[in-house]
Amino acid sequence: MEKEELDIKLVVFDPAEPGPYEQYIMPHINAEMQQDPESFAAIGAVWNNCAVGAAVITEDQEDPGAATLASLFVDPQVRGRGVGAALLAASAEAAAAAGADKLTLSYTLAGEELDAMDRAVRAMGGEPMVSHPVYTMDSADFRDSRLLGRAFLPDYSMPENVIRFTDLEPEQLEALLADPDVPWYAPGMQPEMSLAYLRNGHIVGFWLGCMSTPGNYAVMGVWRSHAAPFNTFHALLTAHVNLCYTHCGGDFLYHCSATLDIAYRLIQTYTEGKCRRLDQHHAVLALNSGN
C-alpha cells in the first residue's frame, strides 16, 4: 500500500549557503559548491517548515550542454511520499531553464523506494538501466564480530603503518600515482576518509572511502601489492571501520559497490554476511528547454 503524498514546498537555495539542506547533500558535492557555487543549482524540499531533502544539479563535464543530477537525498522519515519525485521534476525544470538538453542521474535504493524512483523516471520519459548492486551494512549488526569487533573498542588505535591519505608525504602519493600497476579509484574518494598501508615508507596497499551523507560511508576502492603483508586488508578494513565509527560519533551505515569484488568478499567475511543489497540505476532524461 502506497503512502499518502505530502504537501511539499520546493525552494531554490544558494549553493554557497546550503543551511539546513547541507545534511542532505553529499559532502564532496557540498565542498565543490562552496568553491564554485555558480556552477550549481540547488533545490530544497520543505515539509511542516522543516527541511526534508535536497537536490543539486551541475553541468555534465563529459557532455557539454547536458546536466547531471549531482546529489539527491530525501530524509528517510518521509521517503515513499513523493518527495524524491518532486525534487527530480524540479531538477529537470531547472536544468532545462539553464539550457541543458538532457539530465543524467543515478540512484541507489532498494524495494519500494527503488520502484518509486523508477516510476518517477519513467513518468518523465526516461528508462532506468541497471548499473550494479551495492551492499550496505549497519555497524550495529557487526560490532560484536569476531574479526572486526576490536575496531569499536575505546582503546583501539591504528597500527603505526596505517595512515590517512591527508598525512601522506607528497613523494609517497606521487610514487603511487606513477605506478602503472595500481588500480587508482580516485573519483569520489575523500583523502580524510581513506587509509594507506606503508612498508619501508612506501604505499603497498590502500582502502579508499568517503562519507556520502552524514552517517553513511562508502568504500570507493581497495588495493594490495605483492610486497604487502598478508594481513594488509585486515588492518586497513579494521582501521577504516574505526575511522568511520569515530567520525560519525556512533553507529553508521557502511556501503560497498559489488564492482569492487575484493572489498565485497572481505566485508562479507568480516561482517559474517550481515548486509543488505541495494541496486544502482542509471537514467537519462530528455529535456525540453523551450518550456
Per-residue three-class SS string for the chain: CCCCCCCCEEEEECCCCCHHHHHHCCHHHHHHHHHCHHHEEEEEEEECCEEEEEEEEEECCCCCCCEEEEEEEECHHHCCCCHHHHHHHHHHHHHHHCCCCEEEEEEEECHHHHHHHHHHHHHCCCCCEEEEEEEEEEHHHCCCCCCCHHHHCCCCCCCCCEEEHHHCCHHHHHHHHHCCCCCCCCCCCCHHHCEEEEECCEEEEEEEEEEEECCEEEEEEEEECCCCCCCHHHHHHHHHHHHHHHHHCCCCEEEEECCCHHHHHHHHHHCCCCCEEEEEEEEEEECCCCC
Domain boundary among 127, 158, 186: 127
**Given its phi and psi angles, is residue 269 left (phi above 0), alpha (psi -120 to 50 degrees) or beta?**
alpha
Tell whether 117 and 245 lie within a shared domain.
no
Segment 27-44 mean pLDDT: 90
Tell whether 115 and 174 lie within a shared domain.
no
| Rounded Cα gap, residues 169 and 167, in angstroms | 7
Segment 139-166 mean pLDDT: 94
Question: What mean pLDDT is reported for the chain?
Answer: 91
Which residues have a Cβ under 8 Å from the Cβ of 183 and sit 6 or more positions away? 221, 223
pTM score, whole prediction: 0.77
**For residue 276, which of 256, 260, 250 has the smallest C-alpha distance?**
256
Residue 142 is placed in which grid cell? 557487526
For residue 177, is pLDDT > 80?
A: yes
Domain count, the chain: 2
Q: What is the pLDDT of residues 38-66, one digit of tens each?
A: 999 999 999 999 999 999 999 887 787 89
**For residue 56, which of 20, 22, 96 has the smallest C-alpha distance?**
22
Segment 70-76 mean pLDDT: 92
For residue 28, is pLDDT > 90?
A: no
Q: Are 94 and 43 in contact (CB under 8 A)?
A: yes
Tell whether 173 and 193 lie within a shared domain.
yes
Which CATH number fits the domain that encloses residue 37?
A: 3.40.630.30
Whose cell is 531533502? That residue is 53
Domain boundary among 86, 101, 127: 127
Domain boundary among 127, 154, 173: 127
Segment 177-188 mean pLDDT: 81
Tell me the percentage of the chain whose pLDDT exceeds 70.
97
Q: What pLDDT, on a 0 to 100 scale, did the predictor assign at position 76? A: 87
**Of 193 and 112, the one with more pLDDT:** 193
For residue 230, is pLDDT > 80?
A: yes
Q: Which domain holds residue 235?
A: 138-277
**Of 61 and 37, the one with more pLDDT:** 37
For residue 247, is pLDDT > 50?
A: yes
| Rounded Cα gap, residues 89 and 232, in angstroms | 46
Q: Are 15 and 72 in contact (CB under 8 A)?
A: no
Segment 89-104 mean pLDDT: 94
Q: Are 260 and 223 in contact (CB under 8 A)?
A: no
Give residue 208's pLDDT band: very low, low, confident or very high (50, 70, 90).
very high
Give residue 92's pLDDT band: very low, low, confident or very high (50, 70, 90).
very high
Tell whether 191 and 233 lie within a shared domain.
yes
Q: What is the pLDDT of residues 268-289, one digit of tens each?
A: 899 988 888 899 999 999 997 5
Is residue 282 included in any domain, yes or no? no
Tell whether 143 and 260 lie within a shared domain.
yes
Whose cell is 607528497? That residue is 170
Q: How far apart are the first and last CA of the chain?
A: 35
